Amino acid sequence: VTGRLIFAANWKMHLGPDGARRFFDAFLPAYAPRADREVWFFPPAVSLPAAAAAIHGRADIRAGAQDVHWERSGAFTGEVSAELAREAGATLALVGHSERRQVFGETDDMAARKLRSILAAGLTPLLCVGETLAERQNSQTIAVVQRQLGVALAGLEPSALGRVVLAYEPVWAIGTGHNATPAEAGQVHREIRTLMAAHGGPGRARVLYGGSVRRANVRELLAEPELDGVLVGGASLDAAEWAAIVQSSVTPR
């Protein structure tokens, strides 16, 4: 699959089972498979079965959890494990999204434990890293990404590292309408790849960019060869808008 672009939709706390079914009823006829790309969806956990049923038979489209607990099962009221998400139809899971870190107090260590449980369950992890505005203004961008990745990847075998897909999501770009420039993102993506390789991972890890990606800027962003795809929030909620985004003409990787 390396070399294929990834267009990932993070629906956050939007689109329940009915909304998800309506979305796929509109999206699937508007988007035929393309050999050079995959489309990933992260619906709310309650919509995973509806999403998985809708995309059944489309090998180019996958669905996953937005978050998981690090234990397989147990007395953890309100939580969903990677195993349970898989049973509900997930083949992917987001981990370490900045909203988990900022709004729900998720630490680097918690993200690391979640990452291990996702790998153990046989799902593909999409690990998110990125700095806040204050951290960028204090020239801490690389240090922050280094710390987040260092804790998450510590001790993982090369075979596990090879399964980890990364997303660079600068917090100041999320939901603000102010995306990183292709050059700004490209520079951090290069650094992320270097860090991944230094941990014993693949020489060219897959790295997506997220933060205010829209139909209007997706082509310019993906013209930067350091970007292997995009992770999109707001602009992924409308089937027509998302169909336009995933059909963007992009130079093959």
Interface positions, 150-169, toward ligand 13P (CB under 6 A): 169
Residue of 38, 131, 135, 169 marked catalytic: 169
Closest by CA to 152, choosing from 189, 126, 179, 180, is 126
In the complex with ligand 13P, which residue's Cβ is closer, 100 or 199? 100
Give catalytic status of residue 169 as yes or no. yes
Identify the three-state secondary structure at position 252: coil
Binding mask 73-112 for ligand 13P (x = CB under 6 A): ------------------------x---------------
Rounded CA-CA distance 37/238 in Å is 20
> How far is Cα 209 from Cα 228, in angstroms, rounded to an integer?
8
Beta-carbon contacts of 177 under 8 Å, excluding residues fewer than 6 positions away, are 212
Does residue number 211 form part of the binding site for ligand 13P (CB under 6 A)? yes
Q: Which two tokens stand for residue 223?
A: 């013209």
- Residue least distant from ligand 13P (Cβ): 233
The smaller minimum CB distance to ligand 13P, of residues 199 and 221, is found at: 221
**130 is an interface residue for ligand 13P by CB under 6 A:** no
- The site map against ligand 13P for 10-49 (x = CB under 6 A) is x---------------------------------------
Residue 6, beta-bridge partner list: 38, 229
Q: Is 212 in the site for ligand 13P (CB under 6 A)?
A: yes
Rounded to a whole number of angstroms, the CA Rg of the chain reads 17
Which pair of structure tokens corresponds to residue 11?
């629906």
Here the tokens at position 49 are: 């079965």
- What are the residues binding ligand 13P (CB under 6 A)? 10, 97, 169, 174-175, 210-213, 231-235
Residues marked active site are found at 97, 169
